[in-house]
Chain A
Amino acid sequence: MLEYAWMIPVFPFVAFLLISLLPKRTLSWEDGAGYAIGGAAGALVLSVLVIGDVLAGNTMVGDGPKFNWLVIANIEVTFGIWVDQLTAVMLLVVAVVGTLVVIYSGGYMHEEGAGRRRYYAEIMLFISVMYGLVISDNYLQMFIFWELVGLCSYLLIGFWYEKPSAASAAKRAFIVTRVGDIMFMAGIIILFKYVGALDFAHLFGEEGVAAVPNDMMILATALIFGGAIGKSAQFPLHEWLPDAMEGPTTVSALIHAATMVKAGVYLTARSYPLLVQAPETLLFVAAIGGVTALIAATVALVATDIKRVLAYSTISQLGYMTLALGAGGYLVVYADTAGGYSAALFHLMNHAFFKALLFLCAGSVIHAVGTNDMRLMGGLGKKMRITSLTMLVGAIAIAGVPPFSGFWSKDEVLAAVYSAGEFDSLFFLLWAMGIATAFMTAFYMFRMWFMTFAGEPRSDYHAHESPKLMTVPLMILAVLAMSSGFALFVGDGFGYFAGESVAELFGGHHHESAADILAHIFGDPLTYVSLILATMGILLAYKIYYLPGFDRSVFARGVAGKLQRALENRWYISQFYDDFAVKVVYALSLVADAFDRYVIDGMVNGFAFLGARSGGLLRRAQSGNVQRYAVIIVVGLCLLLIFMLYVAPGGRW
């Protein structure tokens, strides 16, 4: 089955072509929703077959079909596919969430009218290139798809481009991620300089790894991780993601929660064979992840826009994954276990399901109420029973309550970070940040749920439950959010399923039974620390936002007030960028503008003037007089002869 993996992106791409090219009359059923669902479902079926093959123990790493795209002199660039356990995890996420979101869109985008066609075409293009990104077998191919998903993200954030805020959010997302992309590209170029190849098989092989000097390896891996910082919205480039919520909620669920933002984590995981050669980079990765997790969680505490809460939550959870990857690298290097790596991927999968669920629930709420502001909601639980219950499932899952999925993977992540502390004590600090994040996550999630669904309506609205087309995907995702954590106990355990990609490269992993894993988890006192903190977070939210009689004005006074204002201003990071952009960049751009206007334009105008002038002069020669043409030929001939005989270095007189 693996050799057909290249066909996975073809299904959505064909759907994209049909939707965008078919004449309007032929394109029936909600402007292409039918083709979109068909394309997504086709890719889902094929993905499941491929994943089944991977589960059976087959991989295609460097020995798949390839075709030469470019052979010039000694440069050879091939395109091919690479399917291993890591690929399978991403395929699963993209296939399941992609299909469900497209179905859900059938209901959500119903009122969009003529815009639907553009929407479905762009969504299908996105799904197609996202698959392409996941199955690429070299950095260049991956980079091309990396840029294409960025393009689709730009288009979809700016879907309502008449709205100035949406247009500027799209631009911001595009520009900020570009900073990371350039670092990514620089990293690729460094690797290419030393290894002379870009495909994973060469780069990750012993010779490839040995060809890069250590300091360059640190630089290259750090730069590649720079790409991940942009794409996965890690500190300090994370501010574009909350703004990206200007797009339709389905887009936020699919692109900005479940798939594209995972591309950075995927890239880091994919580059593991290189990263483990550079422990300095790993420490950097872990630190970025920890800081991101904490900072984003704090901002989520005070956000009042339901989608922004989820956006900051996404950033925070992505920070978890990055942290786990950093710590996991240490474990691979020093403890010879792939525990952290598999924890990251496990969390990646679980998060994709519960966060997509949360976003789609939020979409359902927004669809019903017509606002994003939680202060205007309240009391929706009675009117939107399915949405409120499925969202509760999502909130429990992300808060880390057993046996829902978030508990298992979050526990694995924190355990990995803690055990990496043995090799560098910075990890203890990062672990503490992770624990604090866990507490805050539980709090802000239930704050959001209580504010939305509990109590009495705080504004005048006529909510109703969403149509089946929307609630069915919610229920499916809720089941997944409840159960995907049990993947840990299936067969060899998810940990090894995902860890295999690394284990194969470095050897040394141990099989454990489900009972062992369970005993291990619940025999560890640290598990109870995070459990207690999560429970406290939920109870605190219950006390403040559900039980009557709590005076919330205490938050507005004194130190708490200062803190709240700092949080409401997103730690002033966004403001810093805006000031930076306005003052420094604007000053720079003035200089650049002057340079452009006077020097470059001057040159161009000079050229043009010269061109027009000499054009005029030469045009005079170009009189249309044929005798003159002959004269010019003779003069040219004579000049040439003189040049060759007397002037040119070959002339011997």
Chain B
Amino acid sequence: MEVWDMLDAFLPQLLLVLFALLMPALDYWLKDKRILAFAALIPMLGYGLALVTWTIGGHWEPPETGIPLIEVNLFSGTFALAFVAVGIIVVLSSPDYIRGERNHGEYYSLILLAVTGMTVVALATDLVVLFIGLEIAGIASFALSGFSKKERRSAEAATKYFIVGGFSSALTLFAISLFYGVSGTTDIAAMGSQMEAMFSSLEGTRSVATLATVMLIAGLGFKIAAVPFHMWAPDVYEGAPTPISGLLAAASKKMGVAAMFKIFLVGIIVTKSDWDVAIAVIAIVTMTVGNLIAISQANIKRMLAYSSIAQAGYILIVLPVGTEYAVAGGLFHVLTHAFMKSGAFMVVAALAVRGVGERLDDYKGLSRRSPFLAVAMTLFLLSLAGIPPLAGFASKFVLFSSAVYASIDPGPSWLLWLAVAGVLNSALSLYYYARVIKKMYMEKGPEERVTVPKMTGAAILIALIMTIVLGIYFDAVVELCQEAAGSLLQAVS
């Protein structure tokens, strides 16, 4: 009975793993592979429904967990919501995309495992569990990005992703062991109070902590594709099957964000004055480099890859600012970005299914070939650029204004520059987003109609509705994000 009590909190993950194990068996039995996708949706829809009714609806409370390694709170709930939402969108649009491939069972199984790993990271309160979550999701996504075995690009992407990913995992693990050496614990909250106790003493220990912090920035910076640890991202996003690129950009990256929020804002918040400038610089460099290179891209998947590098730069603003409002803004941006970025990738996927290429020039005259996909793409891109009244505007607004507020109240005043850099970069990014819109609407291309693949269309529609709804009516969600931020930061105080 006690075992069951303890596993209560892990029930959704157990369900995900169970279905992941079922998938290959189902694949063996089923002729119509689309049913596999629907089966894979079951645990995610269940989890998603539970999360929505709990976090936004407030209809029930999760039970107290008996396990010291994880905690179910609004912070983990909000992240899990983003992961599951992206998972649903990706699975929905997969059957159309991978029709010609073999081993569908493995594909869905790996997606479910990736989502499992991400949610474990969201739940973890211990560095070791956190690392296990990172690895579950990481290994699943290495395999997923190489799924199209016949395609050289895909195989190459998977190899690179695996090598660089392994390198980064090693750095993360090294950082974790150094932190353990400094604080004597792997529990993140305990580490925080332990570090606080020794903050004033032991000079030497502090430089070890600095070394660990740097390694952590490098290791997790790989996950979120922060410059200069971003090199793999464009190659992998381009080579991977497009739905998987969406999963990596919209969810896997957010897993890194969740881990960073936990460790930096709870575990090593005491040494904030050591790392805040460094991360601020990385944030600004990341958004600027991402946007600049995106301008010169001719392949839409690479462009979207650089665009999500830039988005990671925006989210990194949260760490140096560090206020509750900033974390709320970061969470909100994680949610909105999950929809707009996965939506954009799914449009690319839908077009690829119909034989439209991935070059920007292939998008010429799309508005006449498929008005729905053109409108959807336009709205996703405008949202990414931060144009009201779309979701991206709302979350960027909260995010950037948190830096402005913080530069006035707890200070230091240079935080203001983060907001300035963010706004300037948003303006810069409009340049390459608008170029795609221009190609779709103003330039002449082939005439024949493009029909929208049904399931991918449904996934795009979900993302589109959320992109609009979160831009107009976001009160409940912002409130949720603020409470979630509170539940993360209360561990400190």
**Taking beta carbons and an 8 Å cutoff, which residues of A are in contact with B?**
67-73, 604, 607-608, 610-612, 614-616, 618-619, 621-622, 624, 626, 628-630, 632-633, 635-637, 640-641, 643-645, 648-651
Most buried by A among B171, B211, B231, B232: B231
Q: Give residues of chain B (224-283) contacting chain A, Cβ–Cβ below 8 Å.
A: 227-229, 231-232, 234-235, 271, 273-278, 281-282
Most buried by B among A73, A621, A633, A651: A633
| B401, CB-defined interface residue at 8 Å | yes
Interface residues in B, total, Cβ within 8 A = 52
- Contact between B218 and A626 (Cβ–Cβ < 8 Å)? no
Contact of A644 among B159, B232, B278, B397 (CB under 8 A): B278
- Contact between A615 and B293 (Cβ–Cβ < 8 Å)? yes
Q: How far does the Cβ of A154 sit from chain B's closest Cβ, in whole Å?
A: 19
- Contact between A607 and B275 (Cβ–Cβ < 8 Å)? no
- Contact between B218 and A636 (Cβ–Cβ < 8 Å)? yes
Contact of B292 among A607, A641, A648, A651 (CB under 8 A): A607
Chain B residues whose C-beta falls within 8 Å of the C-beta of A641 in the assembled complex: 210-211, 214
Chain A residues whose C-beta falls within 8 Å of the C-beta of B276 in the assembled complex: 650
Chain B residues whose C-beta falls within 8 Å of the C-beta of A628 in the assembled complex: 231
- Contact between A611 and B211 (Cβ–Cβ < 8 Å)? no
User: How far is it, in angstroms, between the C-alpha of A72 and the C-alpha of B482 when the chains are bound?
Assistant: 10
Most buried by B among A619, A632, A645, A648: A648
Contact of B274 among A607, A612, A648 (CB under 8 A): A648
- Contact between B164 and A633 (Cβ–Cβ < 8 Å)? yes
- Contact between B232 and A612 (Cβ–Cβ < 8 Å)? no
- Contact between A640 and B277 (Cβ–Cβ < 8 Å)? no
User: How far is it, in angstroms, between the C-alpha of A651 and the C-alpha of B276 when the chains are bound?
Assistant: 11
- Contact between A71 and B475 (Cβ–Cβ < 8 Å)? yes
Specify the chain A residue showing the minimal Cβ separation from B394. A70
User: How far is it, in angstroms, between the C-alpha of A376 and the C-alpha of B189 when the chains are bound?
Assistant: 89
User: How far is it, in angstroms, between the C-alpha of A610 and the C-alpha of B291 when the chains are bound?
Assistant: 12
- Contact between B296 and A611 (Cβ–Cβ < 8 Å)? yes
- Contact between A615 and B231 (Cβ–Cβ < 8 Å)? no
User: How far is it, in angstroms, between the C-alpha of A255 and the C-alpha of B401 when the chains are bound?
Assistant: 40
Contact of A640 among B217, B292, B296 (CB under 8 A): B217
Q: How far does the Cβ of A608 sit from chain B's closest Cβ, in whole Å?
A: 6
Chain B residues whose C-beta falls within 8 Å of the C-beta of A633 in the assembled complex: 164, 167-168, 218, 222, 228-229, 231
| B307, CB-defined interface residue at 8 Å | no
User: How far is it, in angstroms, between the C-alpha of A640 and the C-alpha of B281 when the chains are bound?
Assistant: 10
Contact of B431 among A604, A615, A626, A650 (CB under 8 A): A604
Q: How far does the Cβ of A402 sit from chain B's closest Cβ, in whole Å?
A: 52
- Contact between A650 and B274 (Cβ–Cβ < 8 Å)? yes
Chain B residues whose C-beta falls within 8 Å of the C-beta of A612 in the assembled complex: 295-296
- Contact between A72 and B159 (Cβ–Cβ < 8 Å)? no
- Contact between B405 and A629 (Cβ–Cβ < 8 Å)? no
- Contact between A644 and B275 (Cβ–Cβ < 8 Å)? yes
Given A633-B218, A644-B274, A619:B431 Cβ within 8 A: no
5 intermolecular pairs with C-beta atoms under 8 Å apart: A72-B398, A612-B295, A636-B229, A648-B278, A650-B271
Contact of B325 among A73, A611, A626, A643 (CB under 8 A): A73
Chain A residues whose C-beta falls within 8 Å of the C-beta of B228 in the assembled complex: 632-633, 635-636
- Contact between B478 and A629 (Cβ–Cβ < 8 Å)? no
Chain A residues whose C-beta falls within 8 Å of the C-beta of B156 in the assembled complex: 624
Add 9 more A-B contacts to A607-B431, A612-B296 (CB < 8 A): A607-B428, A611-B295, A614-B292, A622-B231, A629-B160, A629-B232, A633-B222, A637-B215, A644-B274
Chain A residues whose C-beta falls within 8 Å of the C-beta of B213 in the assembled complex: 644
Contact of A630 among B167, B207, B235, B282 (CB under 8 A): B167
Specify the chain B residue showing the minimal Cβ separation from A635. B228
- Contact between B293 and A637 (Cβ–Cβ < 8 Å)? no
- Contact between B431 and A629 (Cβ–Cβ < 8 Å)? no
Most buried by B among A69, A604, A618, A619: A618
Chain A residues whose C-beta falls within 8 Å of the C-beta of B289 in the assembled complex: 614, 618
User: How far is it, in angstroms, between the C-alpha of A386 and the C-alpha of B359 when the chains are bound?
Assistant: 66
- Contact between A629 and B164 (Cβ–Cβ < 8 Å)? yes
- Contact between B292 and A615 (Cβ–Cβ < 8 Å)? yes
Chain A residues whose C-beta falls within 8 Å of the C-beta of B405 in the assembled complex: 73
Most buried by A among B215, B296, B401, B473: B296
| B5, CB-defined interface residue at 8 Å | no
Chain A residues whose C-beta falls within 8 Å of the C-beta of B163 in the assembled complex: 626, 630
Contact of B293 among A618, A626, A643, A649 (CB under 8 A): A618
Specify the chain B residue showing the minimal Cβ separation from A621. B231
Contact of B475 among A70, A618, A651 (CB under 8 A): A70
Chain B residues whose C-beta falls within 8 Å of the C-beta of A644 in the assembled complex: 210, 213-214, 274-275, 278
User: How far is it, in angstroms, between the C-alpha of A604 and the C-alpha of B428 when the chains are bound?
Assistant: 8
Chain B residues whose C-beta falls within 8 Å of the C-beta of A643 in the assembled complex: 278, 281
Q: How far does the Cβ of A597 sit from chain B's closest Cβ, in whole Å?
A: 16
Chain B residues whose C-beta falls within 8 Å of the C-beta of A636 in the assembled complex: 218, 227-229
User: How far is it, in angstroms, between the C-alpha of A37 and the C-alpha of B295 when the chains are bound?
Assistant: 51
| B479, CB-defined interface residue at 8 Å | yes
> Which 9 residue pairs across A and B have the least CB separation, nearest first?
A615-B296, A636-B228, A611-B292, A611-B295, A650-B273, A648-B277, A650-B274, A629-B231, A637-B218
Most buried by B among A67, A621, A624, A637: A637
Specify the chain B residue showing the minimal Cβ separation from A622. B231
Q: How far does the Cβ of B466 sit from chain A's closest Cβ, in whole Å?
A: 18
- Contact between B295 and A71 (Cβ–Cβ < 8 Å)? no
Chain A residues whose C-beta falls within 8 Å of the C-beta of B229 in the assembled complex: 633, 636
Q: How far does the Cβ of A414 sit from chain B's closest Cβ, in whole Å?
A: 46
Q: How far does the Cβ of B345 sit from chain A's closest Cβ, in whole Å?
A: 20
User: How far is it, in angstroms, between the C-alpha of A612 and the C-alpha of B431 when the chains are bound?
Assistant: 13
Q: How far does the Cβ of A54 sit from chain B's closest Cβ, in whole Å?
A: 30
User: How far is it, in angstroms, between the C-alpha of A633 and the C-alpha of B166 when the chains are bound?
Assistant: 12
Specify the chain A residue showing the minimal Cβ separation from B479. A71
- Contact between A632 and B231 (Cβ–Cβ < 8 Å)? yes
User: How far is it, in angstroms, between the C-alpha of A71 and the C-alpha of B474 when the chains are bound?
Assistant: 9
- Contact between A72 and B273 (Cβ–Cβ < 8 Å)? no
Specify the chain B residue showing the minimal Cβ separation from A76. B475
- Contact between B214 and A71 (Cβ–Cβ < 8 Å)? no
Specify the chain B residue showing the minimal Cβ separation from A642. B214
Specify the chain A residue showing the minimal Cβ separation from B293. A615
Q: How far does the Cβ of A538 sit from chain B's closest Cβ, in whole Å?
A: 53
Chain B residues whose C-beta falls within 8 Å of the C-beta of A640 in the assembled complex: 214, 217-218, 278, 282
User: How far is it, in angstroms, between the C-alpha of A619 and the C-alpha of B473 when the chains are bound?
Assistant: 40
Q: How far does the Cβ of B202 sit from chain A's closest Cβ, in whole Å?
A: 13
Q: How far does the Cβ of B287 sit from chain A's closest Cβ, in whole Å?
A: 13
Q: How far does the Cβ of A36 sit from chain B's closest Cβ, in whole Å?
A: 25
Given A621-B231, A629-B160, A645:B207 Cβ within 8 A: yes
Q: Give residues of chain B (287-329) contacting chain A, Cβ–Cβ below 8 Å.
A: 289, 291-293, 295-297, 325
Q: How far does the Cβ of B416 sit from chain A's closest Cβ, in whole Å?
A: 16
Given A616-B296, A633-B229, A69:B473 Cβ within 8 A: yes
User: How far is it, in angstroms, between the C-alpha of A607 and the C-alpha of B292 when the chains are bound?
Assistant: 8
